[in-house]
Homo-oligomer: A and B are copies of this chain.
Amino acid sequence: GPWTPEATVEYPEAVRQLHREFLRAGANVLQSFTFYASDDKLENRGNYVADKFSGQKINEAACNIAKEVSKEGDALVAGGVSQTPSYLSNKSESEVKAIFRKQLDVFIKKEVDFLIAEYFEHVEEAVWAVEILKESGLPVAVTLCIGPEGDMHGILPGECAVRLVNAGASIVGVNCHFDPATCLKTIKLMKEGLAAAKLKAHLMSQPIAFHTPDCGKQGFIDLPEFPFALEPRILTRWDVHRYAREAYNLGIRYIGGCCGFEPYHIRAIAEELAPERGFLPCASEKHGSWGSDLSMHTKPWVRARARKEYWENVLPASGRPYCPSLSKPDDWGVTKGDLIQQKEATTEQQLKELFKKQAFKFKPVS
């Protein structure tokens, strides 16, 4: 949560380079670097930033950078809002909407091309966001971070999609929390829901770049490896090729990624869909599709890997024989109440108690 949005004012050069690398990888959309950049989030959970910079300043800087880099290629700029602490602390609809409106004012002033409302665990809040964003007259895309089981109140994907389109969204889908396979399942349910309701909308998909066949309803957050030991789960570019193709075949036309996606993952989408798009991204100038450049490697057995047939079928080893291949999601049954509401860091005493319950969760050094 804390400590990312202010990068737009503290390290603009880094954010600029980040946008640039995704643009070169084939991205058609540069999304303003404003995730969790609402005022209520900025002052939340020990983030000192709000004292130094206003949310307005941070959001404006984000738009400036995205607009500037977009001119280096052919990309649209989208302004983005996301789930708010205000909603999670049961603030009123008008209070929550006020938060979104404040960010929207910046996006309008900065003339973004369209708007994205993303990462909502509750469809209700997403609907509120859409209702505000559409006031701008700009196209609105909206994604929930839910799986096939639906949102935190058990509202199923199909129904969620219907509510969002009725609220005014022209693009609906999912982002974050789950791997590509799971996200595509969820979007399929959204598509069926829209069809049943005779509604039309574009579909959008932004999974995480980690394999999570073992996660539960709340996605990768509950996996024991979250957030600092997810490396063995990272998608290969070939996993992304498969994802891009399956997403396209499902009728999804806004195909991207969320946590863990690096420029080379986005490039894999662009390379897989080059036939449909009619061109390769400029970052492919020095990256032969399906490893074709390996044909110049010195070793014959590496040269033999210069082919789709090889990479499509490789079963990559983890190099970790003392680790399992799946994990049990962590979840102590505590999902609301003081512990979750409190804004301060958990005390040592609280940690001790929580830890006691879970002594067995600690495993031997591998």
Interchain CA distance A309-B318 in the complex, whole Å: 23
Q: Is A202 an interface residue (CB 8 A)?
A: no
Listed stretches A27-35, A98-106, A144-152, A223-231; interface member: A223-231
- The answer on a CB contact under 8 Å between B314 and A225 is yes
Nearest residue, chain B, Cβ from A359: B359
Interchain CA distance A301-B366 in the complex, whole Å: 18
Q: Is A291 an interface residue (CB 8 A)?
A: yes
- The answer on a CB contact under 8 Å between A326 and B316 is no
Residue from the list B229, B304, B326, B351 in contact with A236, Cβ < 8 A: B229
Q: A201: which B residues are within 8 A, CB to CB?
A: none
- The answer on a CB contact under 8 Å between A237 and B228 is yes
Interchain CA distance A224-B224 in the complex, whole Å: 23
- The answer on a CB contact under 8 Å between B298 and A340 is yes
Q: A359: which B residues are within 8 A, CB to CB?
A: 359
- The answer on a CB contact under 8 Å between B315 and A366 is yes
Residue from the list B45, B237, B364 in contact with A328, Cβ < 8 A: B364
Residue from the list B224, B294, B317, B365 in contact with A327, Cβ < 8 A: B317
With A210-B319, A213-B321, A232-B234 already in contact, 7 other A-B pairs whose C-beta atoms are closer than 8 Å? A224-B314, A231-B234, A233-B318, A233-B320, A295-B351, A306-B351, A315-B323
